[in-house]
Chain A
Amino acid sequence: MFKNFKHEKVETNAGVLLVFTMLAISAGGLVEIAPLFFIKDTTEQVDGVRPYTPLESRGRDIYIREGCYTCHSQMIRPFRDEQLRYGHYSLAAESKYDHPFQWGSKRTGPDLARVGGKYSNEWHVQHLIKPTSVVPESVMPNYPWLMTPLDTADVADRLRALRITGVPYSANDAEYQRNVKQFGEAVAKTLHIPDAQKMLVAQAQEGNFDGDRASVSEMDALVAYLQVLGTMVDFSKVKPEDLVKYR
C-alpha cells in the first residue's frame, strides 16, 4: 500500500500536508488529555459539590457574556504563593458541573476560584459598577449596566441544555428524588427545572445581592454566582494527604 508513497506527494499537496500535520499535532494532545478520562483518580471524591442554582447559573452566563474569563482565571494551582493568596488549590471535582469550565489562562485580575464569601455583596456591587471606586489602582472596566433587570424567562431552557451535558438538574419526579438523595431536599428543590424561574426569583429576593429586594437584576445573578465560587467544599473536613493521593 505504501510502496509507491513518496514524501514529495505530501510536500507538494497542501490538502494532504494539512491532514498529516493535524494528525501529528493531535497525537500530542491525545496522549496528554485522553488518559485523564480513563484514570480513575482524576476527579476527587469530595462532599459538597452541587450544580449551580438557577440564579447562580444565570450569573455564570453573565460572567461568560461579559468576558470575565479573559482577565480572571478560576484555577488555583498547587503552589504555595497561590495557596497563600487565594486559598486552597482548586480540585477537578469543583468544576465537574461547569460546562464549559472557567479555569482560564490569563490573570490580568486576580484568580476568582475562591472569591465566594471573601467580600460583601455591597463591595461586589460597588466594585462591578465602578472598580476604581474601591480599588484605586484597578484597570478593570466599569459594568454599570448590570443593574438592569435580569431576563428570567428562559432559565428553564438554559438548565435543560445543561442537563443534556450531564449536569443533574431534574426534569421529572424520579430525577428530583434522586437529587434529594444526593444533595438533600433544600438543594434538590433549586435544581428542579419546572420550578427554575420561581426558585431564581426567590433566591434573588432573599439574598438581596444587589441591595434592592424589589427587582431581580443581572447584578443579583452575577453576585450570587461570585459568592458561591469555591465555597462548596468544606476543606476543614478533608485531609490534605487524601487529596495528594488523587495525583
Chain B
Amino acid sequence: MADNAHGQPQSSGGVQTTGHVWDGDLQEFNNPLPVWWTYTFYVTIVFALVYWVVYPSWPVGKGFLPGINTVTYVNAEGQEESWHWNTRAKLLAETQEANLAQKPYFDKIAAMDFDKVVKDPELSSFVVSAGKVLFSDNCAACHQAGGQGKIGFFPNLTDDDWIYGGHFDKIQETLIKGRRGYMPPFGEALSAAQIDELANYVASLSGIKADAAKAAQGKELFHSHAAACFYCHNDDAKGRQDIGSANLTDKVWLWADVPGAETDAGKVDAVRKVIASGLDKGVMPAWEGRLKPEQIRLLTVYVHELGGGK
C-alpha cells in the first residue's frame, strides 16, 4: 500500500516526485508534460469552441444550436435555399452539383435516338463507364457481372436470344415494368408417356439426338388442343416475345439445364422436368421508382451493347 507523504515532495536525481512512496523506497516521478503536448491540448480546446459556433452542437430545450455555417441547395420550386450545415443538406447540395455535371450527357442521351447514342463515341463511352457501375450495383446479382446470366435462373444478356425482345424499346420496357415468367405444369394434365414424347420433340428441335418415333408423336401433341403447346410457343415453336414464351428451336436454354446434362438422354430429361412441373418464376423486379428514368435509359443502351441487342 502507498505510504502517503503528500506535500513533501522529495527529490530523486533532480526530478520532482509525487510524494507517494511504496515499499519504503519506491517513488513516483512527477515529470512535467512535454510542452508540445500541452499546447496541442490547448489548441484542441480552442478548436472545440470554434466548432461549437460553426457547426450544430449543444442541445437547447427541444432544439439545438444550429451553428453559423450554412449549406445552399435548390428546393423543389427551383429556388436557392439555405439551411444550417448538416449532412443531409450537404448531400443534397453535392448531389445537385454532380447531377449538373452529368446533365449535358443525360440530356443528349434523352434527346437522341438509342441507335444514334451507340454511334456517338463520346456518349457511348459515357454509357459504358456509368452503365457498368449501375449494372454492377443493380443487375449483376442476378445476371452476373458480365451479363452472362445463370441457367435455370436468370437469362443471359450477351447472346442474341431474347425472351421479351432485344430491341432498345423492349429492353427499356423490361427495365421499367419488370417481368414475370410463367408456364403451367403439365404433370397432371398429360400422361408421363405424353410428356416424354413432347420432351423428345422439343429436344429434337434444337438438334439434340432424340427418339425419332417419340418426337413424331410429340410433334402431333405439340400442335394438338390437348397439350396446346402451340398456344404460347406458336406453330413454329419459336415462341412469342409479347408474352415471353421461349423460342424452342434455338440452342439457347434458360429454364431446362440442357447444357448441364452430359448425355442426350439427360438433355431430354431436363426438358421433361420443365414440361411436367411448369415454371412459376423468372421474376424481374420493376426498376421504375428505384432508378431514375435517365438511369434506366442509360442501362438500356448498356444492356443492348453487351452483345446481343437487336
Interface segment, A51-59, A197-205, A237-245? A237-245
A117 at interface by CB-CB < 8 Å: yes
Interchain CB contact under 8 A, A80 and B141: no
Task: List the B side residues contacting A77 at CB < 8 Å.
Answer: 87
| B120-175 interface with A by 8 A CB criterion | 133, 137-138, 141-142, 144, 150, 153-154
Separation in Å of the B107 CB from the closest CB of chain A?
20
A145 at interface by CB-CB < 8 Å: no
Task: List the A side residues contacting B137 at CB < 8 Å.
Answer: 84-85
CA distance A12 to B94 in the complex (A): 55
| A102-124 interface with B by 8 A CB criterion | 117-123
Task: List the B side residues contacting A245 at CB < 8 Å.
Answer: 83
Partner of A240, one of B63, B90, B92, B133: B92
Task: List the B side residues contacting A35 at CB < 8 Å.
Answer: 59, 64
A208 at interface by CB-CB < 8 Å: yes
Main secondary structure of the interface of A (DSSP, over half): loop
Q: Mark A1-29, 1 if CB is under 8 A from B, else 0.
A: 00000001000100000000000000000
| B81-110 interface with A by 8 A CB criterion | 81, 83, 86-92, 94-95, 98
Task: List the A side residues contacting B98 at CB < 8 Å.
Answer: 80
Interchain CB contact under 8 A, B1 and A12: yes
| A89-110 interface with B by 8 A CB criterion | 89
B62 at interface by CB-CB < 8 Å: yes
Interchain CB contact under 8 A, A122 and B283: yes
Q: Nearest 9 pairs between A and B by C-beta?
A: A35-B59, A120-B283, A247-B86, A78-B91, A78-B87, A241-B75, A244-B89, A239-B76, A122-B281
- Sample of 27 A–B contacts (CB below 8 Å): A8-B4, A12-B1, A35-B64, A39-B59, A40-B62, A41-B63, A77-B87, A83-B91, A83-B95, A85-B137, A117-B286, A118-B138, A119-B285, A120-B281, A120-B283, A120-B285, A123-B153, A133-B150, A134-B141, A134-B150, A211-B280, A241-B73, A241-B81, A241-B83, A241-B92, A244-B86, A244-B88
